[in-house]
């Protein structure tokens, strides 16, 4: 199972220069708020496609006192992955795998990285776009090609929107071509989401009852018709709206508290946390089953929001489930975890314990 055995940071967030060498299994980071624990998780999250656990602009990740660029390099079993930006191109991400240039989307072919952060507490009550991105992260861990299909769909949609905004230059032939691309890639995106939702529901149904609320999930919104025809018929409407109003980018993930038959958005805050954590854990089991390797899990301040029974249940579920990075303000919140790599994080400093 892949695990990060070496992580080096250069001019990244609060770290001018830092090195951490964890073992497999639990990687426990504790320290005061603002010490830089989440920054370490964010660095690990950049070993996968996308913009990491915060979804921040790349230029925001560079240390303020630095020169504008940053680097994150890592070693896994037989794999060296490096990523970062140059000061001259702060929003252009560069990736190298075993020393060779690569695309960020290709990172998903090497390992899966999943995370849960306090910002995700509002997932069920926030905008549909947040749930869509959450679902796409789950899909990507199972089907690395999903990143490429989604990127090509978005690129074609941006070109179509731009062309529609220039009504005097909206060539129907070019619109046909762009809408054909959107239909092809959009179908691939929607089908991958459906496969993941169905597989996750099957795995979740087979899990034993424990301390985490069980969820029923479904995909809502665009149902997968003839997208090319729908887009052709909606040109005038989309031009007036200034955006495309039909397609998989309008889908939403519907989550229900199974035992109460209640939408997750209407559940209590504690129930929502438990539902979300249960989904992430079930998905980690699914990734292990489908890909034959456990994902790297990044759990930011999760233990602090669980009572002792749920903490014990969480640690039990995570045992022998690959590398799990966890943060907390106090080392005592990790009580009950046996063998682990433990680090005290202080501003700009990481001390192995």
Query: What average pLDDT does this structure show over 264-282?
Result: 88
Domain boundaries, the chain: 122-288
278: Cα within 13 Å, side-chain hemisphere: 28
Question: Whose CA is closest to 175, among 186, 187, 160?
Answer: 160
Query: What average pLDDT does this structure show over 114-140?
Result: 93
Query: What average pLDDT does this structure show over 278-289?
Result: 89
Joined together, the tokens standing for residue 54 give 């915060």
Joined together, the tokens standing for residue 21 give 């060498």
Query: What average pLDDT does this structure show over 273-288?
Result: 88
* pLDDT for residue 169 is more than 90: no
State residue 23's pLDDT score: 93
| Residue in the structure block whose two tokens are 């996308």 | 50
Q: How many residues does the chain have?
A: 353
Backbone angles phi, psi at 222, to 5 degrees: -55, 130
191 near 209, Cβ under 8 Å? no
State residue 285's pLDDT score: 87
Give the rounded percent of residues in the chain with a pLDDT score beyond 70: 97
* pLDDT for residue 211 is more than 70: no
> What fold, for 122-288?
Glutathione S-transferase Yfyf (Class Pi); Chain A, domain 2 (1.20.1050)
* pLDDT for residue 269 is more than 90: no
State residue 293's pLDDT score: 86
Q: How confident is the model at residue 289 (pLDDT cuts 50, 70, 90)?
A: confident
State residue 1's pLDDT score: 65
* pLDDT for residue 133 is more than 80: yes
State residue 270's pLDDT score: 82
How high is the mean pLDDT of the chain?
91
Pairing of strands 324-328, 296-299: parallel
Task: Report the range of poorest mean pLDDT among 169-183, 215-229, 303-317.
Answer: 303-317
Pairing of strands 79-86, 89-97: antiparallel
């Amino acid at each position: 199972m892949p695990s990060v055995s070496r992580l080096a940071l250069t001019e990244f967030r609060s770290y001018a220069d830092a090195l951490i060498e964890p073992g497999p299994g639990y990687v426990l980071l504790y320290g005061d708020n603002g010490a830089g624990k989440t920054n370490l998780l964010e660095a690990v999250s950049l070993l996968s496609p996308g913009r990491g656990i915060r979804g921040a602009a790349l230029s925001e990740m560079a240390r303020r006192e630095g020169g504008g660029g940053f680097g994150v390099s890592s070693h896994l079993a037989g794999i060296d992955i490096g990523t970062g930006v140059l000061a001259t191109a702060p929003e252009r991400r560069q990736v190298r795998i075993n020393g060779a240039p690569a695309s960020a989307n290709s990172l998903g072919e090497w390992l899966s990285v999943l995370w849960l952060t306090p910002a995700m507490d509002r997932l069920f009550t926030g905008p549909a776009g947040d749930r869509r991105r959450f679902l796409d992260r789950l899909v990507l861990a199972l089907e690395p090609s999903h990143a490429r299909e989604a990127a090509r769909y978005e690129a074609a949609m941006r070109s179509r929107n731009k062309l529609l905004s220039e009504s005097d230059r909206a060539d129907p032939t070019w619109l046909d071509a762009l809408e054909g691309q959107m239909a092809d890639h959009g179908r691939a995106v929607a089908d991958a989401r459906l496969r993941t939702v169905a597989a996750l529901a099957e795995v979740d149904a087979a899990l034993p009852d424990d301390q985490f609320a069980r969820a029923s999930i479904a995909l809502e919104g665009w149902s997968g018709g003839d997208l090319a025809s729908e887009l052709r018929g909606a040109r005038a409407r989309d031009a007036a709206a200034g955006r495309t109003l039909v397609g998989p980018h309008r889908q939403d993930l519907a989550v229900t508290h199974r035992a109460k038959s209640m939408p997750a958005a209407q559940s209590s805050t504690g129930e929502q946390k438990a539902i979300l954590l249960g989904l992430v854990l079930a998905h980690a089991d699914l990734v292990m089953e489908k890909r034959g390797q456990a994902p790297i899990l990044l759990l930011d301040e999760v233990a602090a929001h669980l009572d002792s029974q749920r903490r014990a249940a969480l640690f039990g579920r995570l045992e022998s489930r690959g590398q799990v990075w966890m943060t907390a303000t106090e080392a005592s919140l990790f009580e009950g975890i046996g063998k682990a790599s433990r680090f005290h994080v202080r501003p700009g400093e990481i001390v192995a314990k």
